[in-house]
Structure 1
Amino acid sequence: MSACPTAVVLFLFLSLPSSCSSDDRLVVGKPLSAGGVIVSDGGSFSLGFFSPANSTPAKLYLGIWYNGIPELTVVWVANRETPLTTATGGSGSSVSAPALAVTNTSNLVLSDADGRVVWATNVAAVADTPAGTGGTVATLTNEGCLVLRSPDGTTLWQSFDHPTDSFIPGMKFRFRMTSGGGDRLVSWKSPSDPSPGSFTYGLDQVGNGSRPLWRSTVWTGYRSSIHYMANISAHVYLGVNAGDGEIYMGFSVSDGVSRARYVMSYTGKLRVQSWNNASLRWDELIAWPPNECSRYGYCGPFGYCDNTDGGGAAAAAVPACKCLDGFEPTSSEDWSRGNFSRGCRRRQALTCAPDGFVHVRNRSHDECAAECSGNCSCVAYAYANLNTSTINGDSTRCLLWVGELIDAEKIGVDDEAGDETLHLRLSGLDTGRKKDRRTVKIILPISASVLLTCIFFLICVFKTKAGKGNKQRRRKHKTLAFKEVNAAEGLEFPVVSLKDVIAMTNNFHNSFMIGQGGFGKVYKAKLDGQEIAIKRLHRDSEQGIVEFRNEIILIARLQHRNLVRFLSCCIEGDEKLLIFEYMPNNSLDAHIFSSTRKTMLDWPTRFNIIKGVARGLLYLHQDSRLKVIHRDLKASNVLLDEEMRPKIADFGMARTFGDNQQNENTKRVVGTYGYMAPEYALRGKFSVKSDVYSFGILTLEVVSGLKISSSDPILDFENLTVYEGKANDLVDSSIINSCTPDEALLCIHIGLLCVQDNPNDRPLMSSVLFMLENQSIILPFPNEPAYFPHTNTQVEQRRGNTQNSKNS
């Protein structure tokens, strides 16, 4: 990862290059000299030498900056601690000519005019690479990353792993939970000095040297957060992924924002900026800390910064420090003068046994409370049920605080995703007083409440009688209106009555149920002698009558051998039912993830399933009367008929596009994490390329028999690419004997092309199907996905088992 200084930079002895190289690469034997520039393939970034304004004496640095904007803004500096001087040798000096070169030992080396090395990548040598043989290559990507690759395409080193002061889209910011270390942004010393300054930013804290300056809220496992920037009418999306003992953070911005970055400024503020093409300058969207009150420990122990009082500029100008419930200022005199550093003290000392917790906001959890109650050193706890969040991790969290509670902050309910209730331990006497104060307030309104209850009861009696008649009329209207769909839309399918469905399923008895999910339950029955599957939606489903009607109109129009066939429907009262052809072999996930049933799918069958799903998607995207985005393609939504032919099912989340429409945004992200494309999961933007991403994950799962989409993934990008030519290391061990290695590797390669982070890099389904059916074509090398899982224990274990089986 790389970082980017925010200072205005001018060339002194090096002018802005007018002879920019059109190539984005450096190769052995062709160094980059002072005055030369490498421009990324898309023209977004440049690599070259620069000299900061007002540096005395003038110094040269190797850096990466935004290309095509008048204000030269550097995003990465190689030799920030060892600058080159522009002149050597005293009064008779001559201008030096530093150079960056790829060496025969597969390294990037920056040398001064005398050939002395001032900076190098220092990676282990791969092999000697003679000049002109096209071996090790350094490439500047259009995301602003300088990547050094070996002749076989392996990434040896990249600037994104060595940030300076900026965080830009495409980077992954890491924190290692085991060692406590991780990537850090380090500010410039001044606008004219890129050397490391006083302020740093990392996933643990922002600090002034070793002293914390500002800290964000505690990360409890939420996968993403969204900040709306009203000044540019855009969103900044932060995505977090945890795995293999590390946490990865990345960010992106919504459409319409050409350039954006986080920068750790030399003044000690972490700033989010975007480039304004109209004013030709960087606009500041937000900065942390936003005010004095938000600085680390500003309100002292057991004090908190109340950001719910006031707002805007007033709130920033007048910090609002308050004491937590059960506490009072340690020094009232200091607080009156605006000095809150000594914080607050307890009104009643803790005695441990009778102590309790005061509920600051939201709700608690018994086990979390018990864990804190059993530890007299625990002063507070917070419980997070991530499973109930719309943007979540994969478990619950219990956060405990021991010792003084410092750096607390009260925010609005909607200010930040992931805020939790704080349960604070107080003396039993103090919590008792709070109850006593409430007693009078509770008793006084009781008489009035009893009278109001009686009046309310009488009103309900009259309304119930009238409501029954209205409800019956509404149900009848729904049923009659729905039966008119056939004629209005030119569709032909029968509408089955609820009475008939109840008879077919013995009133939805469990013995007829064959599956269930978040949508509802599926029952097996017979209609006119034909076996059918009845999908019964939950009564409290968010899908209303209009949406349900539109879904039926959509799926009734789709006819393809690789789509499940819609037969009928029923809507009466609160019941909403869909009737499909019955698939005797259940869903794909019931086979490939089952240790007993996966043997039913040999390699030829799996290869045909992959091609069948591809044909079904191509029909949805291109060949049907409607351009349809499925939005929830996954193994459980691919059904298998009696001959194991795949049929895509569940169009409850599908959306239709116009002929010329390329993408769409939604505020309500639906689907299944793991199969969702990054731009959809983080920004709500979906297109045909979103389905392509899901198809890529599904393809890799069919080949490997492993849940790549799960929250505990067991395949990683490196394993999938390093084992090129070794299909048996990646293919499901149950089908080794029937596997055709070339076909398996082709599917793996196509799967990786489909899960690339940039939607524009992913192929269309027409190209995917062409590649599947024409194995002789040369495929491009895939880019690593930004959020691809990195856990490979079971893949290595499988590789060993495969080798052992060969030797036995």
Structure 2
Amino acid sequence: MDEDSHDEEKHIWQSFDYPGDNIIPGVKLGKNLVTGREIYLTSWKNSDDPSPGEYAVRFLMVKDKYPQLYLWRNNSVKIKRFGPYNGVEFSGQTIYNDKDKDIMVLNQKDMHLQFMHNSTMFSLMLKLTPDGKINVSTLLIHNHQWTYYDVFPYDKCDEYGLCGPYGSCVSLTPPYCECLKGFQQKESSSHNQTRACRRTRPLDCGPREGFFKFSSMKLPDTQNAVYNNSMSLQECEVACKNNCSCTAYANPNITADAVGCLLWFGDLIDVRVYQATGQDLYVRLAASELLDTNSKFHRTKRVNITITLSICAGLAGLIFALYIWTRRKKGSDVEREGRPRTVVDKDNKSSSKKENMELPLFSLSQIYRATNNFSMENKLGEGGFGPVYKGMLEGQEVAVKRLSKSSRQGVDEFENEVICIAKLQHRNLVKLFGYCNEENETILIYEYMPNRSLDSFIFDDTRKSELDWSQRFHIIYGIARGLLYLHQDSRLRVIHRDLKAGNILLDHQMRPKISDFGLARMFREHENEANTKRVVGTLGYISPEYAVNGQFSIKSDIFSFGVIILEIVSGQKNRCFVDEDRQPDSLVCHAWRLYTENKSLDIVDECLRNSCSILEVMRSIHVGLLCVQHRPEDRPDAQSVIDMLGGDDGLLPFPEKPGFFIYTSEITSNTVLPSFNDLTLSQVYGR
């Protein structure tokens, strides 16, 4: 701080103290509490008039309060709140790579934020426009050209206080407000339409009051909060519990030495859910509200235990009957693909049956009631398995998947899906709630995905603009996380074998979940690949070694994932792609040619070109091409994909020609194609 004072005496004027409407790395925003000088951004009046305009980006700094950065209009109306600062950046506002960091200084003499950027390949500039937007541009060092990169605010949910006190904005397209747990919508008069939530049950400051944890949140406005930089999270909870006026607490710091305590007193304003970069918020609730939550949990647990015991009792009798029947029919088992019909290994089939039955079994009458007798109004779509219906089962929205009698998939796939997915629990895999097998009906019950499947967005000209680049990149990353779990982190290694855009479902926050495990195969830890005479999957996503030789492994799924990456970036289907000369081609081959000509950005979806992150797009295309290389051993595994997608400026290996390149792009009239195994194709339908 002394050096800053010395500099002030030495310099009469310096540009970094008056940034105007833009900021570059090294510039500080904040206030010198000794001299009173404040540094902040101001917009131009219009594009031709550099005099101060309506908008400003500046701190609201009050003594003993946690400082926050706001976008203001006329220095009085809050348009957007950035933050709060979490020790690395402003919560939810990731615009740099992992090496970059915002530096916050808080002391008795100075409060400021210094914007730092350490890349050797590009630089960043933030500009406040006359209409109140913050444009982010990149300067590529090798050609010294500025390129549009991103824009703030991102969406309607960024509007300050959109959902009112104790309300949370939980989705992006369109914004959707809901009250936090323990609160309900207030009755509003006709002349006052402001959203507001009130407590379902009042606080009484009793000893049994407690806190409910909300995850992935943008922490509330800290104007009515007190900050202590030395308290642990446990000490923070005790401090809030002992003060009847305290409504919530949190640790704003996400760094390794994460200490610090924010205590809120009064309403919680400007809360939203982030897809990946939020923090934990602990909100005070009445004892009866917490008791209801625990009671519901225990009731559900008791019901599950009762169902499980009943099923086990019935299963014991069934196993005994099967044992007698098997003794009489010994030697007559029909093998499928050189393996038992239970799909898993020979010595593990009985345990798999048990795990199959651990899922809740619902009656057909329950399913009828849940779907209104499979009414057409409730039908969501149809796939290779059969129709899918929306339903309400035990107070929860579900998707009911009904095996069609004419389906080319059958009982084997049904059993395979139940056994496989019962073993899997991950945030990027669809959750199976239960099943029904009664009166020749074969039914699976899944969690309901309100935004249906990925292909219903990226391949639909009227809807693709609803998925901006930030969302698409999070979807790519989420699919990769799901594959890492399937291939490496789950108890048994799982090869999906039908990974495609239609089998990626999107929840209300646009988080991706891999679905449809009817064709999946499970390996033990020491197994890496297998062969089959029956190739299954969807054309356009099947790897060369699988289609030609029937050989599949985790690298088969990686090939499919590479195709999905390129489809997400381009908004084009791999098999239906037509090049600029109106010649049929594959998207994969077209992307590889553009890459070799240094024209990769030509493949980007038109609706993304003015708002995407160029560096993330280029890296995604590069990773996609690495995934679709012809030789399985050249393709990265899921962990490497994640590292590359989230990596720094390090160079990636040069991709080789993709699989099927010669067949889709270099075929002549005399070319003899190799013979393919018979394909069992999974149809592409929306959910």
In the superposition, the TM-score normalised over structure 1's length comes to 0.37
Greater C-alpha Rg: 1
